[in-house]
């Protein structure tokens, strides 16, 4: 027989009605000890409920007060800050890249793996590799090759190598170690390290990289605290001290005009305006340069750190001047084409180039960009660095198709830069060339002096080939790139890594310089890989590249 259980009662069971059942009568029949226990339990439950209600009201007010302290009203935020807050509780996916699609891309990825393996074996955690000596070299003390090359690893879908780099950045990137206790170029740190961190953050949306970028950006911001509004030349990140060069108060125009993309992007991803529009930040330095007197848009390669005015008479789109012009166009694009000063300064400079620097060399009729050594003193010298300009002009034409001369100039300059490679026995370009302006001379159009015959694994022509192919669809630019890549493989590849060389004119004696530049992995191999992809992995309406080939997004405001 089933035993009755008195504590389980169905109050909807009508069978109890005839027997006169009630809760009160049931409770009174319980033993005294059980009745006391039930009453005590009920009293404690009611008391706990009252305490909880009171605490909740107080706690909500306290929490609201804390939120108001650390998260100001959405109405007081800039548009990109509001956007960031709206996405805080959403999962934001990074950009995904597939495996290589053709033999040329596979060959480039194999080259990247060869370079990375050598660096990891002999220089891991240090800045760069000396591939002949098989030892590391120290520059910044911040694992430069790791940070500079990590987005290339990610784009090439080199997952194991990417994971190695990410782990190092998360656990070992440290600006307070003794290796960092030195003065280094503010410009180089910005474009290579800050640019690398920002780029890989945008590609992966991994907060590890944003945190490191903020840590670095906060220290670099100290360099902008100047009377002129221009950043100083050097900074000691460990000591948080900035200064000009020891031998001059002048800065180079490229240095002070090529840090704005990165600082502005840091403001956009953090929602903190201080890197972009505060009193001492990127926009102020850009405004200082904009307000200076120019020669048909062209500016000298030096600028005073004290007055902010340009210094000297040398005008060049090579060393010390190049990326100032590059960033004029890219800042206009980065800000959604909403700041006309950037475009106006850039297009005026292109017109100045046409008027003062654009020449033709004989007998091959090669167009090139020379230099001004004074108001009317022209030099037919062109650095390999100038080859960036072809891609830059093609990019400008892409957004202003009515300016057809931009594409014409881009094509002509790309051809000349290719000939700088093709005419050398190694198939590699020297660092500097001179051009023959005498139509009656028997000399070649391209002349190389002994001190200029070295090749530093530079990316500028490959960069322009990337733009030219994806903007025109002409496969000749891919074919030229493949020829150049094979020359790098033949003459600069070492048993471990790659090395710059001293002489491009002698196939049997190139004289390796025992240096593998971080930009060879960050820029040269990346642009080769993107050049050989059948479609543009970084649509020009959505992305720009900083001067170290780190992709950054275009904003609409």
Confirm or deny that 415 is annotated as ligand binding: no
* Long-range contacts, 405-408 (Cβ 8 Å, 24+): 405/354, 406/350, 407/471, 407/472
d(CA 320, CA 256): 10
Structure-block tokens of residue 148: 């500079």
CB neighbour list of residue 78: distance below 8 Å, 6 or more residues apart: 271, 273
d(CA 443, CA 155): 44
Backbone angles phi, psi at 544, to 5 degrees: -125, 160
User: H or E stretch including 58?
Assistant: helix 32-70
Q: Which of 151, 283, 460, 503 is catalytic?
A: 460
CA angle 529, 321, 520 (to 5 degrees): 25
Is residue 408 within 8 Å of 346, Cβ to Cβ?
no
**Is 103 known to be catalytic?**
no
**Is 460 known to be catalytic?**
yes
Residue with tokens 């935020």: 77
Structure-block tokens of residue 356: 């003062």
Question: What is each CA distance from 517 to 150, 488, 492, in whole angstroms?
Answer: 14, 14, 12
389 closest CA partner among 307, 298, 494, 487: 298
d(CA 262, CA 283): 11
**Is 419 known to be catalytic?**
no
d(CA 504, CA 493): 14
d(CA 546, CA 90): 28
Ordered alpha helix ranges (H), 423-556: 460-472, 476-491, 518-519, 525-531
CB neighbour list of residue 452: distance below 8 Å, 6 or more residues apart: 430, 431, 432, 433
Question: What is each CA distance from 459 to 287, 384, 385, 465, 522, in whole angstroms?
Answer: 29, 9, 8, 10, 9
- Is 331 buried (19+), middle (13-18) or exposed (0-12) by CB count in 10 A? buried
The number of residues making up the chain comes to 557
Chain centre distance of CA 8: 70
Residue with tokens 């660095």: 385
**Is 348 known to be catalytic?**
no
Q: Which of 322, 345, 419, 496 is catalytic?
A: 322
Chain centre distance of CA 154: 13
546 closest CA partner among 455, 463, 429, 432: 463
Count the Cβ atoms, other than its own, within 10 Å of residue 420.
22
Structure-block tokens of residue 321: 């001047």
Q: How does DSSP assign 209-243, residue by residue?
A: HHHHHHHHHHHHGGGG-SSSSSPPSEEETTTTEEE
Q: Which of 234, 383, 419, 431 is catalytic?
A: 431
The DSSP secondary-structure symbol of 206 reads -
By three-state DSSP, how is residue 431 classified? coil
Backbone angles phi, psi at 241, to 5 degrees: -130, 140
Binding site feature residues for Ca(2+): 547
Q: Which residues are catalytic?
A: 188, 322, 431, 460
């Amino acid at each position: 027989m089933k035993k009755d259980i008195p504590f389980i009662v169905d109050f909807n069971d009508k069978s109890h009605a005839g027997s006169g059942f009630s809760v009160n009568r049931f409770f009174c029949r319980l033993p005294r000890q059980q009745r006391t226990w039930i009453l005590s339990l009920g009293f404690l439950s009611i008391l706990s409920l009252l305490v909880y209600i009171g605490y909740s009201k107080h706690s909500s007010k306290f929490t609201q007060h804390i939120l108001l302290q650390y998260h100001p009203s959405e109405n007081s935020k800039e548009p990109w800050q509001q956007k960031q807050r709206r996405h805080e509780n959403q999962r934001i996916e990074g950009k995904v890249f597939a495996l290589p699609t053709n033999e040329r891309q596979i060959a480039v990825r194999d080259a990247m793996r060869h370079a990375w393996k050598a660096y990891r074996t002999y220089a891991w955690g240090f800045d760069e590799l000396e591939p002949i000596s098989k030892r590391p070299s120290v520059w910044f003390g911040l694992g430069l090759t790791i940070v500079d090359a990590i987005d290339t690893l990610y784009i090439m879908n080199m997952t194991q190598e990417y994971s190695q780099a990410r782990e190092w950045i998360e656990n070992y990137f440290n600006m307070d170690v003794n290796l960092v206790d030195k003065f280094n170029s503010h410009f180089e740190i910005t474009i290579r390290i800050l640019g690398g961190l920002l780029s890989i953050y945008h590609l992966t949306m991994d907060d590890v990289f944003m945190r490191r970028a903020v840590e670095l950006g906060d220290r670099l911001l100290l360099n902008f605290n100047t009377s002129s509004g221009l950043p100083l030349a050097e900074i000691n990140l460990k000591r948080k001290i900035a200064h000009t060069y020891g031998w001059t108060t002048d800065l180079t125009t490229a240095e002070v005009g090529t840090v704005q993309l990165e600082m502005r992007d840091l403001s956009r991803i953090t929602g903190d305006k201080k890197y972009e529009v505060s009193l001492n930040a990127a926009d102020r330095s850009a405004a200082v340069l904009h307000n200076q007197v120019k020669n048909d848009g062209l500016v000298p390669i030096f600028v005073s750190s004290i007055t902010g005015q340009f210094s000297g008479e040398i005008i060049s789109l090579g060393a010390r001047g190049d990326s100032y012009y590059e960033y004029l166009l890219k800042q206009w694009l980065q800000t959604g084409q909403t700041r006309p000063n950037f475009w106006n300064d850039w297009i005026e400079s292109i017109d100045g180039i046409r008027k003062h620097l654009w020449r033709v060399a004989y007998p091959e009729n090669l167009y090139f960009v020379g230099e001004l050594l004074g108001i009317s003193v022209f030099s037919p010298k062109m650095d390999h660095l100038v080859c960036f300009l072809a891609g830059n002009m093609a990019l400008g034409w892409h957004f202003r198709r009515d300016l057809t001369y931009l594409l014409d100039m881009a094509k002509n300059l790309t051809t000349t830069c290719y000939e700088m490679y093709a005419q050398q026995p190694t198939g590699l370009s020297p660092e500097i060339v001179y051009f023959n302006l005498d139509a009656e001379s028997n000399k070649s159009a391209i002349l190389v002096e002994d001190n200029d015959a070295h090749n530093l694994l530079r990316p500028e022509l490959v960069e322009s080939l990337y733009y030219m192919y994806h903007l025109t669809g002409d496969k000749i630019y891919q074919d030229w790139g493949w020829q150049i890549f094979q020359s790098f493989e033949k003459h600069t590849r070492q048993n471990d890594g790659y090395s710059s060389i001293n002489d491009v004119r002698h196939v049997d004696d190139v004289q390796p310089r025992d240096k593998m530049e971080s930009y060879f992995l960050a820029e040269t191999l990346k642009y080769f890989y993107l050049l050989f992809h059948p479609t543009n992995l970084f649509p020009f309406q959505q992305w720009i590249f900083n001067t170290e080939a780190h992709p950054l997004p275009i904003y609409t405001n």
